[in-house]
Amino acid sequence: MTKKVLMVLTNQEKFSDGTPTGLWLEEAAAPYKIFEKNNIAVDFASIKGGAIPLDPNSVANDETKTYADVVNKLGDSLKLRDVVFENYDGVFIPGGHGTMYDLPNNPDLQNILAFYKEDGRAIGAVCHGPSAFVGAKLKDGNYLIDGVKLTGFTNNEESAMKLDEVVPFALQSELEKQGGRFVVGENFTSHVVTDKKFVTGQNPQSSVEVAEAFVKVL
């Protein structure tokens, strides 16, 4: 039977200061290609549905041509609330700074994440994608990531990008506050952490490796 993955993306196209942001294309496109190669079906979803904004910096080198088929699919994502999430074997959440605005504390997404963890299904995220875990709790009231080894875009990397004053919160700090056992790798170098059914990658450089690890967990 073909495995199915729900990829949850951001609809947010601007930082709070008005600077354009969105999805970091490679973090969705590279995993999509790896899933496709492994005969894993992928559906794109977002909080509002519809077109996914791409961070302009993530398409500066003609990535839209490299990933033209994926970009085309990103033009029309499913609305998360309408998705029958029980039909998927795993959820995968790419990053881009947009995720920090619309994915944390979203009840529909939190419901999916809690169900997947409690049902033993795969949960993957890369770079700022783990912002989706912020505020998510299980039925027993514990945080989704309490005691889970994971990674994501680090405070050091945010500072190196000079965006630590712009983002709504520090991702690493927030995940640590909620009990996540955050593992830091070198800045802007591929770094992936797998803990049972959780698979997380630190930055855009981790996109391929995190997708390959996610396939193994699936």
Q: In the annotation, is 97 catalytic?
A: no
Identify the pLDDT of residue 105. 97
Give yes or no for a contact between 144 and 138, defined as CB atoms under 8 angstroms apart.
Answer: yes
Q: Beta partners for 9?
A: 46
pLDDT in tens, 132-180: 999 999 999 999 999 999 999 999 999 999 999 999 999 999 999 999 9
Q: In the annotation, is 212 catalytic?
A: no
- Is 63 a residue whose pLDDT tops 90? no
- Is 60 a residue whose pLDDT tops 90? no
| Domain carrying residue 23 | 4-217
CATH of the domain at 205: 3.40.50.880
Q: In the annotation, is 118 catalytic?
A: no
Catalytic residue among 27, 158, 174, 209: 158
Catalytic residue among 128, 174, 191, 209: 128
Give the DSSP letter string of the chain: --EEEEEEE----B-TTS-B--B-HHHHHHHHHHHHHTTEEEEEEESS-BPPPBPGGGGTTSHHHHTHHHHHHTTSBEEGGG--GGG-SEEEE---TTHHHHSTT-HHHHHHHHHHHHTT-EEEEETTGGGGGTT-B-TTS-BTTTT-EE--S-HHHHHHTT-TTTSSS-HHHHHHHTT-EE----TTS--EEEETTEEEESSGGGHHHHHHHHHHH-
Q: How many domains does the chain have?
A: 1
> How do 149-150 and 40-46 pair as beta strands?
unpaired
> pTM, whole model, 2 decimals?
0.98
Give yes or no for a contact between 26 and 58, defined as CB atoms under 8 angstroms apart.
Answer: yes
